Amino acid sequence: MLLNLYHQLRRRLPLFHQRMIVLSFSLLVVLLAWPQPRSVNLKLSSLLFAEGLMFSQRQSHLLASDDWLARWQYWVQPAAAEDPYLKMYDIVAGDSLSRIFQRFGFGYSQVQRIMAADESLLALDILRPGNRLTLQLDEQLQLLSMELYIHAGKRVLYQRDDSGEFSYQELIDEGRWQSDILLGEIHGSFYVSAKQAGLTDFDIANINQLFRERLNFRRDIQAGAMLQVVRSDNYVGDESTGLSRIEGVRIINRRQTFSAFLHSDGQFYDEKGESLERAFSRYPLQRQFAVSSAFNPRRLHPVTKRVSPHNGTDFRTPIGTPVLAPADGVVTRIENHPFAGKYIEIQHFGSYKTRYLHLDRFLVKRGQQVNRGQRIALSGNTGRSTGPHLHYELHINNRLVNPMTANIPLARPVPAESRAAFAERVSFLTDLMLQQSLLARQPEADNPTAPQ
Ligand SMILES: [Zn+2]
């Protein structure tokens, strides 16, 4: 009936009005079909700023499973029982810890104490929709402990000790990795074709980065070139953690194949074992400065005198020393923290992330692409600091490592001792892609009436 009315109106109305009607009608359809605020779409939008976390579409199906229902009931029950000592809060876009604490009636000193505990982790600095806080209160309704749920594989527990200070503990479930083979044909834009094959923006940015020195995506890919990708997604139980990594990529032109494979050292090489990484500098500085405090997960904090991990390397840099990006990447955080001071985070392509704390001045903006060697900031003495220095952190696969000793890309071929293992992996992944693309072609042959 609605459609009938629409067609009648259409015949009588001028073009402009027709367009307005079509527009409002489509808007109505979009609004009706718009997902609930906590759906996957919202998480997808935090794309590059999600520290490489991508929430796969699959999650939306899993949410409906019985398993999830059981877990949901488990979470909801304590709240339904009106336990006055237990509070739960689901993060919405734009939330900050101090605003949430205000809502629960906690004073600023409690925020300060939690922030102090979080100084070396900085997990509470960026809260995202999908994160959840569970707060346990004491008899005076003061905060006893707090759990930050980041995803199914990662929670952080902040606990108060007898002195009233908080310390943190990361609760990590490695889960399992499940591989998927994604196939596509490239016509026109590589981006659009790759999206159609099921790749995420993050995957595509990584592939662009991997081949950027060998391949001009606009010029060198022929129409009809094949795209084959093996991607692994991380699950804890049936729930996606949003962590995902590319295991292998092949772009097959008529005469030439571009390939990239992830090796056990966390770096990408082509099928011959030549590195696709760009070298990563060991120091984020123009010259070496003395190390005033080394990476030490069991350090005594110089100010608080309690055991608190030192998650980076401190260089004794005078205020105003230029800080350089050790590799190409995208600036994902520009923040000012009461304890970490002014700090920057850079997501490098692949599995690397770096942080720079206690800065004096930022020279880049959030979202900005940076190149290796580019000045990103001037070092300083901001936040809780015992003197001018640069605190430098390196994260590989979201794990903190010692920046002075960790395995960083040196842009060298696969080391001789792991060549055989690498070759085996390459042929395994290549076979997977081949089998899958043969399978994908079969239905067409069996069913000649299938649309082209
Ligand atoms: Zn430090």
Tally of structural domains, the chain: 3
For residue 392, how far is its CA from the centre of ligand 1 (angstroms)? 7
Residues 298, 396, single domain; the answer is: yes
The DSSP secondary structure of 22-86, one letter per residue, reads HHHHHHHHHHHHPPPTTSHHHHHHTGGGGTTB---THHHHHTTSHHHHHHHHHHHHHHHTT-TTE
Provide the pLDDT for residue 156.
95
- Find where tokens 């009636």 sit: 105
Provide the pLDDT for residue 121.
92
Provide the pLDDT for residue 306.
72
The last residue of a domain, from among 145, 172, 199:
172
Digit-coded pLDDT (tens) for 389-430: 999 999 998 889 999 999 888 888 999 999 999 999 999 999
Token pair listed for 238: 């049936």
Provide the pLDDT for residue 315.
97
For residue 163, how far is its CA from the centre of ligand 1 (angstroms)? 24
For residue 373, how far is its CA from the centre of ligand 1 (angstroms)? 22
Q: Let me know if residue 446 belongs to a domain.
A: no
For residue 330, how far is its CA from the centre of ligand 1 (angstroms)? 23
Provide the pLDDT for residue 26.
53
In which domain, by residue range, is 369 found?
291-401
For residue 310, how far is its CA from the centre of ligand 1 (angstroms)? 6
Residues of the chain short of pLDDT 50, as ranges, are 1-3, 5-6, 9, 13, 20-21, 27-80, 445-452
Q: Let me know if residue 230 belongs to a domain.
A: yes
Provide the pLDDT for residue 133.
96
Residues 142, 183, single domain; the answer is: no
The last residue of a domain, from among 136, 153, 172:
172
For residue 390, how far is its CA from the centre of ligand 1 (angstroms)? 7
Give the CATH number for residue 139: 3.10.450.350
What are the residues whose beta carbon lies below 5 Å from ligand 1 (ion)?
Answer: 312, 314, 391
Stated length of the chain: 452
Q: Let me know if residue 31 belongs to a domain.
A: no
For residue 389, how far is its CA from the centre of ligand 1 (angstroms)? 8
Provide the pLDDT for residue 37.
35
Helices and strands in the chain: count of H runs, count of E runs: 10, 20
For residue 195, how far is its CA from the centre of ligand 1 (angstroms)? 41
Q: Let me know if residue 335 belongs to a domain.
A: yes
For residue 254, how far is its CA from the centre of ligand 1 (angstroms)? 52
Residues 163, 212, single domain; the answer is: no
For residue 95, how far is its CA from the centre of ligand 1 (angstroms)? 27
For residue 133, how far is its CA from the centre of ligand 1 (angstroms)? 27
Residues 427, 357, single domain; the answer is: no
Give the CATH number for residue 361: 2.70.70.10
Report pTM: 0.70
Q: What is the C-alpha separation between 267 and 258, in angstroms, rounded?
A: 16
Residues 301, 377, single domain; the answer is: yes
